[in-house]
Structure 1
């Protein structure tokens, strides 16, 4: 008689554990900072000495 139960393939690696406390927030914050840096560099706001007295000046 043939075996009813087949062996399951073994999973590679160990069991998944949740990340340590605060690790997810740190990763999200790091990605957010990187995106803001990219936007600022693309917009040209990070250039110094362009004569407007600062990066974020508003004219009324």
Structure 2
């Protein structure tokens, strides 16, 4: 009954956030081609790899790793 309502994988937070503010800032600094804009750094530090294992917001996963 509920098998079709649950996704097989978790939707990443990156796909859940509203990007209106990011879009406005990019337009303000006069970058007109969003596809060529480098949004994220391609490197991921060791702490970031550990944080990916949690399904939490970054500040919360950082707090858990601090102990």
Task: Work out whether the TM-score is over 0.5.
Answer: no
* Higher helix content, 1 or 2: 2
TM-score in terms of structure 2 length: 0.26
- Greater Cα radius of gyration, structure 1 or 2: 1
TM-score in terms of structure 1 length: 0.27
